[in-house]
Chain A
Amino acid sequence: MLRNPEARLQVVVALLVVALALILVKLVQLQVLDRGEYQDVVEDTIYRTYALPEPPRGRVLDRNGDLLIGNVPTYDVGAQLTAIQPTDVPTIATSLAPILGMEIPELMSLLNSEYPWVYLARGVSVETAHAITEVVTAHNRRAQNSQTERKWDWLSLQETWRRYYAEGALAAHVLGFVNEEGVGYGVEAAQQRFLRPQSVQNQGVVNVLSEPLSEELASTEVRTYPGADLVLTIDRTIQAFVEGELDKALAEFGAASGTILVMDPRTGAILASASRPTYRPYDYMGYGGDARDLFADPALRDYEPGSIFKPLVVAAAVDSGRVTADWSYYDTGVVEYGGVFIRNWDRKGYGQQNLQGILDYSLNTGVATLTTRVMGPEVFYAYIRRFGFGQRTGIGLVGESPGVVHLPSDLGWEDGFLATNAFGQGISVTPLQLATAATALANHGTMMAPYIVAERHYPDGRRSVTAPRALGSVLRPETADYVAELMANTVSNRLTMAQVPGYRIAGKTGTAQIPVSGGYERDDVITSFLGFGPLPDPQLLILVKLDRPQVPMHLRWGTQTAAPVFQRVASRLFVLLGIPPTEGWAGP
């Protein structure tokens, strides 16, 4: 049959055509009819979310480059539970529990949970990760030669980081922390957008190890960037010393809490900010959910400052031109204004007094006279605004209070505020606002914006340096220098506890009553001292605030408690910072 080659050829051609037709039909089915289904399968197989190991957060350094917050590498240990044989669970738990520091039943319960994937442990150290790797590798080697054992390919070690506070709890309120949502306190939270790293997490074509394929690498940006490093204005040595002095002061005077702020008045740079009680920022989870007051920086919380406010009132009166150096008033010991009777701290009258006398004897009647009889509300509150009270300083830290300033236009205004605000009552300010306002006195009238981040170092090599920023000429230079001289005379004449041999210091004490509902606490006070020096060009400004010192009542004053703390801190810092004594100053 079919002897004719042409016929045989036709048969072969027909068979080939049929085969080709079948292939075409199948091809149409695969490529056209069932296309969507197969497309999904392919995409599920090769399109995966892949990620590079997370880069670290930016570091935080002090002004000398010493590490304050760094990162240590850690690992998260994960388990794909669907890939574990239930019969293997006891063996796995027995092998890994001691390494992970867990109880065997605890780990077994995790491994038996109903989730497809769980974390067995988070943030384990490099040593622990190595120990786990060794155990798993040894097991897998045995499993390779065994008929009964299965490989442990369900375990994953994901590279992560843990924040490392090199100096422990030092400067806890300044440094702060952030939780996993990026919310928290201090520089860590305020500078979150600079500190946080740029991770890589893309959807793309991956290989069996879930690593992106070459074309994926070529077509997308796969480089990760760590966060920017921050250089703070804080000096860790000064900070540690100041914290030590604050601890000593709290113990010595039995104070419940306190704050010491150290600033360079020429630039507004914060050199140290210490507050007690403090906390361990690396262990913030251990404080429970009710620790907001502990985490919030007391240097940014408002309080009624008391007499420490008086130099600013005197400065406002002089700068406004309403008084001159030869101005004086007769102090009867009481001033009445708006139905409020203002008396001096000792309820005595001091007779004829000038501006120097007001600061020397801390006369409430004197400053009340200046605000009520000399300046009036328009002038006084214009200066209050100029000094920045009632507004945030913009230091860029979390939780800064603007303070409370009552203005005549406000609902609830009482005439008496004009008199009581003069000596720091009925007005709330933060220690940082006070120190900032005082830079105007120390810096020849120019008020400097406080700042704590000196530089940012970006991962691409760029650097941004924070330039000191003047908030304006709040006072005329001659006013500022005159009031600074008055304050220096006060220290020389009346405040031996605050004097630093060889250095001309300007300062003022404060003893503030603590407001409670319907009045003020009877016995407890807040004592404080604000000082700067050495005159005539102060390089250091220090604010000491002690809350509720528990010393005998006759010693419960800023002069007896806060002033000596200032003296100890200033003496050491002048030496540490290499600040020379006042030239030609023989001392009081």
Chain B
Amino acid sequence: MGAVWQKEMHGVRRRTEPLDRAAMVRLLLLIAIVVVLAFVYMGLLWSTTRLGGELWALNERLIEIQRQNSLVEAEIARLSSIPVLQVRSVELGYMPAEQVEYLIVGGR
């Protein structure tokens, strides 16, 4: 390397050194802010995604429970329906009343 080139280079560097350092600090600060913002954004995105997934899963779970509940409700209704109760009554020895007479009780 030539002495002139060396001198020019080092001379320029020396002259601009204080200015470069300040710019570098600002640049690093900017990068740090961008990185922090990026992390915050990523964090929010992750959180939203996770919550969205949980919401979806809860919705599906809710629907599944509603479906199971409907099935149980229908089964209860079947077991307590009039045709089933009639059959059960006969099985238990009860007979349908053919002739019903109602007595009027005075002095209610």
- B-contacting residues of A (Cβ < 8 Å)? 52-53, 55-56, 66-67, 70-73, 126, 159, 161, 164, 166-168, 170, 211-215, 217-218, 222-224, 226, 236-237, 240, 501-502, 571-572, 574-575, 580-581
Contacts and interface: CB of A to CB of B under 8 A. Distances in A.
B56 A211 contact: yes
Given A159-B67, A168-B83, A571 B74 contact: no
Contacts of A240: 82
A170 B83 CA distance: 10
Contact of A214 (B51, B63, B66, B71): B51
B19 interface: no
Contacts of B63: 52-53, 55, 159, 224
Nearest to A126: B71
Interface string B73-100: 1101110111100000000000000001
B100 A572 contact: yes
Interface residues of B, number: 28
A149 to B, nearest CB: 30
Nearest to A236: B82
Interface in B41-85: 48-49, 51-53, 55-56, 59-60, 63, 66-68, 70-71, 73-74, 76-78, 80-83
Contacts of B51: 214
30 contacts: A53-B63, A56-B66, A67-B74, A70-B70, A70-B73, A70-B74, A70-B77, A71-B70, A73-B68, A73-B70, A126-B67, A159-B63, A161-B70, A164-B74, A166-B77, A167-B81, A167-B83, A168-B81, A170-B82, A212-B56, A214-B52, A217-B52, A217-B55, A218-B52, A237-B82, A240-B82, A501-B102, A502-B104, A571-B100, A581-B104
Contact of B70 (A56, A501, A502, A574): A56
A159 B62 CA distance: 13
Contacts, number: 81
Given A70-B70, A72-B70, A214 B53 contact: yes
Contacts of B102: 501-502, 571, 574-575
A55 B66 contact: yes
A298 B66 CA distance: 37
| Most B Cβ at <10 Å: residue of A71, A126, A166 | A166
Contacts of A161: 70
Interface in B8-61: 48-49, 51-53, 55-56, 59-60
B7 interface: no
A581 B104 CA distance: 8
A72 B71 contact: yes
A215 B48 contact: yes
A52 B59 CA distance: 9
A67 B77 contact: yes
B12 to A, nearest CB: 13
B57 to A, nearest CB: 10
A211 B76 CA distance: 34
Contacts of A164: 74, 77
Nearest to A54: B63
A240 B96 CA distance: 13
Nearest to A582: B104
Contacts of B48: 214-215, 218
A67 B55 CA distance: 32
Nearest to A216: B52
Contact of A66 (B66, B77, B104, B108): B77
Contacts of B104: 501-502, 581
Contacts of A170: 82
Contacts of B71: 72-73, 126
Contacts of A159: 63, 67
Contacts of B76: 67
Nearest to B45: A214
| Most A Cβ at <10 Å: residue of B53, B70, B80 | B70
Contacts of A217: 52, 55-56
